[in-house]
Amino acid sequence: MRNNNILVLGGSGFIGRYVVNFLVGRGCRVLVPTRRRSRARHLILLPTCDVVDANIMDDATLDRLVARQDAVINLVGILHGKEQEFHRVHAELPRRLVAACAKNRVARLLQVSALGVGASAPSMYLRSKAAGEAHIQASSLAWTLFRPSVVFGAEDRFLNLFAHLATWFPFLPIGGADAKFQPVWVEDVARAIANTLDNDATFGKTYELAGPRIYTLRELVHFAAGAAGHPRPVIALPDGLARLQARFMEFAPGAPLLSRDNLDSMKVPSVASKQPFVPAPELGIRLTPMEPEAALYLAGMHRRTRFGALRARARR
C-alpha cells in the first residue's frame, strides 16, 4: 500500500481492532497509542502492530506519534461525559490532529464521526462530533470522513448490552423505543476505512455507513434478547420516565449504561440520508444483514475471540 505507516488513534477500541487487523493483513506497519496497554492486548501479538502507552491529549506526545507516519486514522470517541469532555475528545482532538499532521507533513487523515451529527443537534455527542468534522473539513489535508449508524459485531456494546440485560430482567423497560437505527457490521466499516486509505477519489469526501435495514430500538432490543435465548417483553417508557431512568444510571457506579445525552442523540434518526442505502462503490463493501451475523454471537457461539466469527460460521 502507498500509505504504509499508519497511526490509529482509538485502535484499541471495538471498531479499531478490526481496522488494525485489516491494515496489518495488508502489510501496513500500524502504531496504536493507548491509555491502558492491557486494553489493547489483543493487538500486541499482531506482527506489524506496535502498541504504546501514550497520552494523546498532550500536544508534544501527539506530535511525536504523528511524526514519520504516512496517514492517521482517528477513531477516538466517547458516549458519556460532560460538555467539556465531549468537546475535548470529539472537537479539540481533531483540531490538534490537523495541526500535528500539517506540522509533520502527514497529508492523509481519516476520521470516524457518526450519522446525525450537526451543529444544532439535540445532544452533546452529536454537536461535538460535528465540531470535530468542521475542523477536518476546513483543513488542507487529504481527509475522508465516515459517519456510521450504530455498529454491530461480536464485541459491540449495543446488542450485547440488551442481550445481557435480558438474562437478568423479566422485562426490558427502554426509553427512545421508536428511535431509528440502521445497524452496520463492524467488518464492513473497517473494510471501507482500509479500502479508502490509498484511494485519491475519496479525498475530501464524507461517507455515510449504514446497514441494509432500518430498525426501531424496540425491534433491536427484542431481537437481541431473543437471539440470546431470553425473549423478553420490551416496555416503551414515556419520555419523562426514560429521562429519570437515564439520570439514575448516570449516577450509578462505573460507566453508565445510558445517559440523558444518549436519549437526546436518539431524537435524530441514525439512518442514511438516502434509502435504500447503497454504499459508494469506492468503499468496496457489500452490506452484511444484521440478524444472521448478530444471532451467532448473541447466542454465545463466539465470545470475544479474534477467530470466533469464523468458528461460529464453521459451527465449531
Ligand X SMILES: NC(=O)c1ccc[n+]([C@@H]2O[C@H](COP(=O)([O-])OP(=O)(O)OC[C@H]3O[C@@H](n4cnc5c(N)ncnc54)[C@H](OP(=O)(O)O)[C@@H]3O)[C@@H](O)[C@H]2O)c1
Which residues here bind ligand X, judged by CB under 6 A?
Answer: 10, 12-16, 34-36, 39-40, 56-57, 75-78, 89, 112, 114, 148, 150-151, 158
Residue nearer to ligand X on the CB measure, 91 or 241: 91
Least distance in angstroms from the C-beta of 58 to ligand X: 10
Residue nearer to ligand X on the CB measure, 214 or 315: 214
What is the distance between the alpha carbons of residues 91 and 61, in angstroms, rounded to a whole number? 18
Least distance in angstroms from the C-beta of 171 to ligand X: 25
Residue nearer to ligand X on the CB measure, 93 or 101: 93
Least distance in angstroms from the C-beta of 150 to ligand X: 4
Least distance in angstroms from the C-beta of 23 to ligand X: 15
Residue nearer to ligand X on the CB measure, 101 or 190: 190
Least distance in angstroms from the C-beta of 43 to ligand X: 10
What is the distance between the alpha carbons of residues 222 and 270, in angstroms, rounded to a whole number? 18
Amino acid identity of 248? Answer: F
Q: How many helices (H) and strands (E) does the chain have?
A: 13, 13
Distance of CA 83 to the CA centre of its chain: 20
The residue written with cell numbers 471495538 in the block is: 14
Residues in a beta bridge with 246 = none
Least distance in angstroms from the C-beta of 294 to ligand X: 13
Amino acid identity of 231? Answer: P
Length of the chain: 316
The residue with its CB nearest to ligand X is: 13
Residue nearer to ligand X on the CB measure, 14 or 207: 14
Burial 289-302 (b: 16+ CB within 10 A, else e): ebeebbbbbbeebb
Where is 222: in which H helix or E strand? helix 217-227
What is the distance between the alpha carbons of residues 288 and 309, in angstroms, rounded to a whole number? 13
Residue nearer to ligand X on the CB measure, 78 or 299: 78
